Amino acid sequence: MRYWLAGLLLVALMLAAAVGYHWLASDPGYVLVRLGDTRYETTAVVAFVALVLLWALIGVLWRLGRWPLRLWFRRARKKSRERLANGLVALTEGRYLRAEKELARATQYRELRAPAMLATARAALALGESARADAALDEAAETAPAAALALRARLKRERGEHAEAYRLLAAEARTASLAPSAWVEYIEAALATGEAEAAMSALAPLARSQALAPATFAALEARVLAAALAAARSADGLNAQWAALTRAQRRVPVALAAYATRMAELGQPLPGMSEIEAYQRKDWSDQLALAYAGLAGADTGARLRQAEGWLKQHPNNAALLTALGRLCVAGSLWGKAREYLERALALREDAATWETLADGYAGEGNHANAEQCYRNALRLARAEASQPLPDQAPRLGLDTKALAFEERSEHGVPRLPDLSR
């Protein structure tokens, strides 16, 4: 089909050329140019061709005249890019004075002015020159206002000025006109200043931008959800907020732990207990096991029986053993608490387990062991090795009975326990 169309078009052009030639041959036109006493006469066809040639000649001369200037601009552009690259490298290396010098030279080219001034602001702030950093950001805002605003907010947050960073971005956030990086800074500033609702409302535009990797956004979303739920002032409001979340958001362990903990603090622990139990039946979270043990006002005996049921599926889980120890301490079951906690420490030492064991010894009246357990908790918090207890040095740390529990796969095949948990 295309060949037929091309053929028809070629025939049409040939006919038009023939008609045009016949018309021009019969009457080629007449052009008279007179300048003073000089007269120039020619046909319209020749005059038209002469004008086309003259225009082409002027274009060639113009390009030849601009060539040295274009060469100079190209060299200046290349030099500015090299200076910008050198300045960024110097900034990364911590050579801030050299970075400022190189970046100042790069600003001579307009297209590189904004990135150069943004980097200059970082270098100036690293040198402690806040005024110079603000001036650089003001200049960068002339050509890249969104980037300058985001960087200004980040620099304020890095200086610990979270409230100022939040106020700086609040006006733009209300119009939903922030850049993706500015939305991140707004959320971080809102969390730091206790504005959890503002952080929650900023999640939607940040998600639409798809600027963050899924894992990074999920981690940020979990922090925001936990902060928003923990800031609820009434049980009814918290329940409404929980119901408004998506199913996926209600499956985030840190958010579920915050909901259950806050509900218990507001005097209604049962909804949180039910949510955690439902989650642990299908999935598993160490964080939720520990949160379950810490629900204020909940029935300790019922939680202990439920957690002991979990132990059948997770016999070598140090977090679950620590949670069981906390429940036993809350129920004044000192011997049982010591058994669970010693097994947890045999699997994995951490400060929280040592602290819980210290509470158990203190409740039992063994103050010497309690003091040593508290010391061990502090030592582990400082990344130091723990010390044996006064009357249990041979046993504690060598007891491996937690390893004697048999674990089976979903197919019923025995397998070795995972000691890394």
H/E segment holding residue 239: helix 235-244
Domain ranges of the chain: 76-143, 153-212, 220-298
pTM comes to: 0.74
Q: In which region does residue 160 sit, left (phi positive, over 0), alpha (psi from -120 to 50) or beta (all else)?
A: left
Question: CA 337, CA 343: separation in Å to the nearest integer?
Answer: 10
Which phi and psi (to 5°) does residue 406 adopt? Answer: -90, 130
User: Which tens digits make up the pLDDT trace of 15-53?
Assistant: 776 666 666 666 667 777 777 777 777 777 677 777 888
User: What are the pLDDT tens digits along the chain (421 aa)?
Assistant: 677 787 788 777 777 766 666 666 666 677 777 777 777 777 776 777 778 887 888 877 777 776 665 665 567 677 778 888 888 888 888 888 888 888 887 877 777 888 888 888 888 888 888 888 888 888 888 888 999 999 999 999 988 899 999 999 998 898 888 999 999 999 999 999 999 999 999 999 999 999 899 999 999 999 999 999 999 999 999 999 999 999 999 999 999 999 999 999 999 999 999 999 999 999 999 999 999 999 988 899 999 999 999 999 999 999 999 999 999 999 999 999 999 999 999 999 999 999 999 999 999 899 999 999 999 999 999 999 988 888 764 444 434 444 445 555 555 565 555 544 4
Question: CA 388, CA 394: separation in Å to the nearest integer?
Answer: 8
Query: Are the C-beta atoms of residues 249 and 225 closer than 8 Å to each other?
Result: yes
Q: DSSP character for 394?
A: T
